[in-house]
Structure 1
Amino acid sequence: MHPPALALETVGNPWLWLGFLVLVLVLLALDLGVFHRRDEVIRAREALGWTAVWASLAAAFAGLVWWRFGANKAIEFVTGYLIEQSLSVDNLFVFVLVFASFAIPPKLQHRVLFWGITTAFFLRLVMIVGGTALLSRFHWLIYVFGGFLVVTGIRIFFHEEQEHHPEKSVAFRVLRRLVPSTSRMEGHHFFLVENGRRLATPLFLALCMIEISDVVFALDSVPAIFGITLDPFIVFTSNIFAIMGLRSLYFAVAQLLRRFEYLKAGLALVLVFIGLKMVASSWVHVNAFASLGVVVTLLGGAMAYSLWRTRREATGSPEA
């Protein structure tokens, strides 16, 4: 029998899971099949509108969870959503670098991100179901996850930012060796036939690099949300709503990301807090509302401080 702090929640049921999966598939079909059928540049104003749409859908879902399962579950969902959305900021930097490295035209970037995040949808499902199964069978893994998050948070906090080159990474070299490819574009196609050979275009290579980056970032974000709740349905839905809005968020704020230079420090502190919470879960209980307050305070403070510092630097104000 598991300790009370580790007991898996029972919110999810087959019909609930099926209903959510159908909802997501319908939204994805509408996204690419109706609203973005043509390859075109996504303007900042349109992206902001879609960002608001996805955030509103997440808020409505949180309200539904509150109505059906109570305030505690809704707060867990919101906290998980905020953590995943914030940790995804690093993913946005990767998008910028990948598209620049492979010279992906702006009008084709939405299609790459659509399929990248759609595939991430299924990868997250596998990771979360697997993580839930492991935690239900080996509850001591919660301490392993917690320790991993603490170490990761400390490493991120003290790690100096370096310039990244995706095309020089080991993953890219292995990918080029395994997948025959060409540097030639063929519209929005991921493959083309050249001299009788089927070759991957730069779009496909960019898609693969985005998928690899998502798996890497999920190694931080999924355990972090397990530190908030052990309910797989809440973990999964908060993850999916966050990554569903990631495309529009990229087009809305890609040029503003550099202004949030201290957000990484805030995220590091969030990971350390959640890791310590998981390690101490058998002895200390931190309720969902308190966890949400800590997460919002750390992330909001980091963003506010980033904006304040960059504004001071832009105006040339003297240091205090």
Structure 2
Amino acid sequence: MHDVPLWLWIVFGVLVLVSLAVDLLAHRTAHVIGFREAAAWSGAWIGLALAFGGLVFLVVGTDAGVEYTTAWLLEKSLSVDNLFVFALIFGYFKVPRAYQHRVLFLGVLGALVFRGIFLAAGVAVVNRFTAVLFVFAAILFYSTYKILKGEDESFDPGKSFAVRLLRKFIPVRDEYAGPHFFVKEAGKRVGTPLLAVVAAIEAADLVFAVDSVPAVLAVSSDIFIVYTSNAFAILGLRALYFLLAGLLDRFHYLSVGLALILAFIGVKLVLQASHKTISTSVPEIPSLVSLAVIVVVLAASIGLSMLRPPPEKESERGG
């Protein structure tokens, strides 16, 4: 555990609240977010995350800084999988592009709360029962298998538990009513499809937390490191989605890269758990090595995707 001063927690909280307020004010009027606007916001979120990482380096120390950077980049890379699901959900519910940011904003708020709960619980369990790291490793290996087999593509937004539960308690109409989540019909309050979309987004994030939480706990078991890195990665998720919208299919090797990263983190967890529960002679993988592996795998998968277009693209060129 790192010695984190209270004021650094306060700085983090203020940064998150101010960032959310600025983002909300900047997008108070529903509009289609173009590439240039998304690029500017994405750059701002990345800059903010790296600046906070620099503060962690200076205040808490080099080890903490490396762990934060590794955890943030890991979470950022794993969040790309979320983007594919967001695109699937928006396509399924035919969400107008002008309202997509509003939905994702609420999704981010929910993710910040739920990730905080899951990470706090995960840290508490790991600190008390180190052997649970073997279970987390098994989860990551299974997730690797699912990605490589393409089983993650079977997600059906309309059949998600959250959407079905919502429809049981709140009637949801079929037509949108601008950016509103509720409208009144015949004197009764009913939900619009946007409400169902938010439920689907939150449900998807809960599913992704099953991979994300064990993975980040392989980097650090310090709640400050794992939560702040997750929070800054989540905050930049909306801008990243609009930046890459329409280009996701082009990065067809990225899923393989993410699978390799999950498998590597799974191995790191096994070694870490073995070192702590079986024998201290079992080597552990340093965070700096983990950071290097994540950077190399991401760069290679993106580079290969750009050099070798998907099969359908090649066929289009041939035609």
> Same fold, TM exceeding 0.5?
yes
Q: How does 1:246-285 map to 2 (within 5 A)?
A: 246-281=237-272, 282=275, 283-285=282-284
Q: How does 1:127-142 map to 2 (within 5 A)?
A: 127-142=118-133
Read off the aligned partner of 2:299 and give its amino acid letter. Answer: G
Offset of residue 89 of structure 1: 1.1
The aligned counterpart of 1:302 is 301
Q: Does 1:214 align with 2:214?
A: no
The aligned counterpart of 1:31 is 23
Offset of residue 158 of structure 1: 2.9
Q: How does 1:84-103 map to 2 (within 5 A)?
A: 84-103=75-94
Residues 18-27 or 206-215, more deviating: 18-27
Offset of residue 230 of structure 1: 1.1
The aligned counterpart of 1:202 is 193
The aligned counterpart of 1:72 is 63
Offset of residue 235 of structure 1: 0.5
The aligned counterpart of 2:13 is 21
> Counterparts of 1:128 and 1:298 in 2: how far apart (Å)?
25
> Counterparts of 2:187 and 2:144 in 1: how far apart (Å)?
50
Q: How does 1:131-210 map to 2 (within 5 A)?
A: 131-159=122-150, 162=153, 164-210=155-201
**What secondary structure is seen at the aligned counterpart in 1 of 2:190?**
strand
Q: Give percent identity, aligned residues only.
A: 44
Q: Deviations over 1:59-110 (max 9, x none)?
A: 1111111111222221211111111111111211111121122222111111
8 Å Cα contact 2:105/2:238 also seen in 1: yes
Which structure would you say has the larger RCO, counting Cα contacts within 8 Å and 6 or more residues apart?
1
8 Å Cα contact 2:127/2:221 also seen in 1: no
Q: Deviations over 1:100-146 (max 9, x none)?
A: 22222111111111111111111111111111111122121112112
Offset of residue 248 of structure 1: 0.7
Choose the corresponding residue for 2:96, options 99, 105, 126: 105
Offset of residue 161 of structure 1: 6.8
Choose the corresponding residue for 1:230, options 210, 217, 221: 221
Read off the aligned partner of 1:16 and give its amino acid letter. Answer: L
8 Å Cα contact 1:98/1:206 also seen in 2: yes
**What secondary structure is seen at the aligned counterpart in 1 of 2:127?**
helix
> Counterparts of 1:39 and 1:58 in 2: how far apart (Å)?
26
Offset of residue 13 of structure 1: 4.5
The aligned counterpart of 2:232 is 241
Offset of residue 201 of structure 1: 0.8
Q: 1:40 to 1:241 in 2, by over 3 A?
A: same
Residues 249-258 or 63-72, more deviating: 63-72
Read off the aligned partner of 2:116 and give its amino acid letter. Answer: L
> Counterparts of 2:124 and 2:216 in 1: how far apart (Å)?
15
8 Å Cα contact 1:12/1:232 also seen in 2: no
> Counterparts of 1:168 and 1:143 in 2: how far apart (Å)?
32
Offset of residue 187 of structure 1: 2.3
RMSD in angstroms over aligned alpha carbons? 2.1
Q: Number of matched residues?
A: 309
> Counterparts of 1:144 and 1:164 in 2: how far apart (Å)?
24
